[in-house]
Amino acid sequence: MSLAALELAAPAALWGLLAAAPNLVFHLYFRRRRRVLVAFAPLLVESAGLVRSEARFKRLREALSLVLRLLALACAVLALGGLRPAEAVEPPRDLFLVIDADITSVAREADGALRLEHARRLAQGFVLGLPTRAGDDLRTEGQVAVVLAGRAPRLVLAPTDELTRALDTLALPLSPETAAADLEAAVATAAGAASRSARAAVVVLSARPIQAPTLPPHVTWQVVGTGSTREDQGFVDLVVERTADASAYRVRATVRNDAAETRSRSVVVHVGTREIAREDAVLEAGVPLDVTFDVPAPPEALWLRVTLEGEDAYPANDAVAARLAPMPLPSVLVVHDGAVRPYTAAVVEALAAEGLIDGSRGGYVAAAKLAQAGAHDVVIVDGVALPAAGLRPGAYVFLAPLVGTLPFDVGRRVQEPLIWRTARGHPLVEGLDFRKSFVVRGQALAGEGLVPLAWAEGLPVIAEGEREGVRFVVLGLDPEGSALPTQLALPRIVRNAVLRLARAPHVALAPFYRVGEVLRPRTAIPGGPRARIAWTGPEADPVLADGGQGVAAGRVDPEGVAWRVPAGAAGRVTVTTGAEGPAPWTGQTAFLDLETGRSIVPARPEGQAPPPGPARTQTGLRWRRGLLALAVLLLLLDLALLGLARRRAAA
């Protein structure tokens, strides 16, 4: 290290080197050759020759002693003057503090304080450690600014050199975000401002890992941890599905324990304000645990809340929610050619009697009068040809014979097939057994996007599909020309098809969508592909309070990209969708910010207690201690030399 790389914090201390003068004078005065008159100099010459080595040692020791003392004095003076490396000395002129206010900053550390509070104290420490101007203790040499990393960077303290202003700002509690904060954006903001400074330091106070930004050489970079607690148990996933009979929701919540030891917590499920399930969960360290509940479909839309009871360091992931839509009975309209076929009428009546469809809202209509019929959840086309304009977006069940305008293609006829095959496990053909059936009249099905569900002679005869907003289930079987097993199976197929198709209009949106997921309605929105999506905070729900709100317009239809759930809408909102035009259509769902990878456990060690000041102080202190130690060592060497001389003289 060259001398140019060193600098003194207090150059005035160099006056202390004047203390070397008395030492030097003392040495020269007492070690000078005093002139004395002697009676007979040859006698001295003779004796001096005998002890010349002794004299040389004496003079060498005295010179060495002087050098050691002067060096010790120099070391002490340099230590008092604060000699240190220039790079350590060079104080950042401007300090840009970035405080991470991510939702995880509400984690409570072992000492009981929030991470954000730790960050605030650390920031205070950095500000207090800034060098102040000579003669003005209330102004810093450089400027200090504080950027709060929230959803968007927020400048809570504009660059200032007023120490009191900075401390006043940092004396107030900081507000944590309710969602993930964009730390990178905040760092980029601070780094951008720091780049314009002549000399600056960017200090990030966060518990999260972060990549160092690209900075110019005159900007230093430092990350100080604000916490490292692992004492957290929380939800990392939630799945809500309908049961096969569409009578209930199946809820599966996944809980993970980040603590180092096994913990016991209670998982509680509320629908609305009613607690419907509670289960004690033993959570092993680091092992995800699935907790499953069946929740009956509510008569009206209600919030499903799954909470984790008990305390931990991070409560924000102790609750998740979904919007459970009601499942009303669908209405069914049968289109016939003037008279409904008895078999079809019997099936519809049976469904109404079973309570699977709403018989009061359904009915029968001739194909010619379909245009005058109102909207129904499911339309059964009972072997008639629909008019050209009669096929509107909606749900349809087509029964053979298949004629007229159809959303699919019809193939060749199928007679007396010997081999049946079904798509095993599909809910539409669930419980059917065609092994002993044969068909007298049937039609093979074809077309793009068609999903076959049952085959005869290798050709699909039962299928489902969707085309231009028309969702359909088609049965290429003629009940009247079929064998008894087929006739017995058809009512179940029709029932399944009606329920399957009826479900979608009422639950156009899933119970919840994760952040980043594409919002794609299950059915077309009446009024056109253009849609408006609005979301607001949940209605007075204590668990899901403090939501955001906003409006987004976009293409929302089954074919196009609808709308991707933004991070800002995380976890705390409901959404309503509405089509532009005279026939609004609405649906409700929830956005959940369940980032399965999210954890409050930082990827790097926790920062230490608030440092007394910038690192340069520590470096200077190390140099000071080193120099003082060297000074003491030199004095000890001097003493050792003196002791050696005395021993030699005594010998």
**Which residues in this chain contact another protein in the complex, by CB under 8 A?**
31-48, 50-51, 54-55, 58-59, 649
CA 395 to chain centre: 39
CA-closest candidate to residue 123, choices 614, 601, 600: 614
- CA–CA distance, 106 with 575 (Å, rounded to integer): 27
Maximum distance among all Cα pairs of the chain, rounded to whole angstroms: 160
Q: What is the CA radius of gyration of the chain?
A: 43
Q: Which lies closer to another protein via its Cβ, residue 545 or residue 649?
A: 649
- CA–CA distance, 600 with 114 (Å, rounded to integer): 12
CA-closest candidate to residue 468, choices 408, 383, 520: 408
Q: Which lies closer to another protein via its Cβ, residue 46 or residue 309?
A: 46
Neighbours of 484 (CB within 10 A): 9
Residue 54 CB, shortest distance to another protein, in Å, is 5
CA distance to 274, 277, 360, 399, per residue, from 319 (Å): 15, 14, 41, 47
Burial class (CB in 10 A: 0-12, 13-18, 19+), 120: buried
Q: Which lies closer to another protein via its Cβ, residue 47 or residue 360?
A: 47
Q: Which lies closer to another protein via its Cβ, residue 31 or residue 625?
A: 31
For residue 398, the cross-strand partners are 381, 474
Residue 27 CB, shortest distance to another protein, in Å, is 11
Residue 35 CB, shortest distance to another protein, in Å, is 5
CA distance to 302, 483, 547, per residue, from 274 (Å): 10, 50, 22
Please list, residue by residue across 370-395, b when 16 or more beta carbons sit within 10 angstroms of its beta carbon and e when fewer do. Answer: beeeeebbbbbbbbbbbeeebbebbb
Q: Which lies closer to another protein via its Cβ, residue 36 or residue 540?
A: 36
Neighbours of 141 (CB within 10 A): 15
Conformation bin of residue 76: beta by default, left when phi > 0, alpha when psi is -120 to 50: alpha
Angle subtended by helix axes 52-81 and 20-31, to nearest 10: 170
Residue 58 CB, shortest distance to another protein, in Å, is 5
Q: Which lies closer to another protein via its Cβ, residue 40 or residue 608?
A: 40
Residue 57 CB, shortest distance to another protein, in Å, is 9
Residue 637 CB, shortest distance to another protein, in Å, is 21
Tokens 């790389």 correspond to 5
Burial class (CB in 10 A: 0-12, 13-18, 19+), 57: middle
- CA–CA distance, 296 with 298 (Å, rounded to integer): 6
Q: Which lies closer to another protein via its Cβ, residue 43 or residue 212?
A: 43
Residue 40 CB, shortest distance to another protein, in Å, is 4
Neighbours of 529 (CB within 10 A): 17
**3-class secondary structure per residue, 67-115:** HHHHHHHHHHHHHHHCEEEHHHHCCCCEEEEEEECCHHHHCECCCCCEH
- CA–CA distance, 639 with 567 (Å, rounded to integer): 72
Q: Which lies closer to another protein via its Cβ, residue 44 or residue 64?
A: 44
Q: Which lies closer to another protein via its Cβ, residue 38 or residue 388?
A: 38
Residue 645 CB, shortest distance to another protein, in Å, is 10
Q: Which lies closer to another protein via its Cβ, residue 60 or residue 371?
A: 60
Q: Which lies closer to another protein via its Cβ, residue 41 or residue 621?
A: 41
Q: Which lies closer to another protein via its Cβ, residue 40 or residue 448?
A: 40
Residue 30 CB, shortest distance to another protein, in Å, is 8
β-pairing, 420-422 vs 451-456, is antiparallel
Residue 641 CB, shortest distance to another protein, in Å, is 15
Cβ(494)–Cβ(477) under 8 Å? no
CA 610 to chain centre: 27
Residue 82 CB, shortest distance to another protein, in Å, is 39
Residue 70 CB, shortest distance to another protein, in Å, is 19
Residue 610 CB, shortest distance to another protein, in Å, is 57
- CA–CA distance, 37 with 421 (Å, rounded to integer): 136
Residue 33 CB, shortest distance to another protein, in Å, is 4
Tokens (6 digits) for 403 = 């004629």
For residue 133, the cross-strand partners are 136
Q: Which lies closer to another protein via its Cβ, residue 49 or residue 112?
A: 49
Neighbours of 402 (CB within 10 A): 22
Q: Which lies closer to another protein via its Cβ, residue 440 or residue 645?
A: 645
Q: Which lies closer to another protein via its Cβ, residue 4 or residue 38?
A: 38
Residue 41 CB, shortest distance to another protein, in Å, is 4
